[in-house]
């Protein structure tokens, strides 16, 4: 399962850029036949975590101060 890494420049946060990026990545991944995606999110990154949860990611593990989250198609 590929690990996803995305970031939004601080001046563009809160404008829906992350949501659009994530939606397009999910669609492209599913179209290519991937069975899912994974990512890591640090405890203090509450906005990103909320975005991932809204998009179907669930916690699958923990390492240090981060959760590993997965989304299965």
Q: Report the sign of the C-alpha dihedral through residues 55, 64, 43, 10, in that order.
A: negative
Query: pLDDT tens-digit profile of 20-55?
Result: 999 999 999 999 999 999 999 999 999 999 999 999
CATH superfamily of 15-72: Gcn5-related N-acetyltransferase (GNAT) (3.40.630.30)
Averaged pLDDT of the chain: 97
pLDDT of residue 36: 97
d(CA 3, CA 39): 5
- Give the pLDDT confidence score for residue 71 in this predicted structure: 98
Q: What angle do CA 65, 13, 61 make, to 5 degrees?
A: 25
- The confidence score (pLDDT) of residue 34 equals 97
Q: What is the C-alpha separation between 71 and 1, in angstroms, rounded?
A: 9
- % pLDDT > 90, the chain: 99
pLDDT at 28: 97
Query: For the chain, what are the domain ranges?
Result: 15-72
């Amino acid at each position: 399962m590929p690990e996803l890494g995305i970031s939004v420049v601080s001046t563009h946060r809160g404008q829906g850029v992350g949501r659009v990026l994530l939606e397009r990545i999910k669609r492209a991944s599913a179209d290519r036949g991937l069975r899912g995606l994974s990512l890591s999110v640090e405890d203090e990154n509450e906005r990103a975590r909320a975005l991932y949860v809204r998009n179907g990611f669930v916690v699958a593990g923990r390492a240090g101060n981060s959760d590993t989250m997965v989304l299965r198609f």
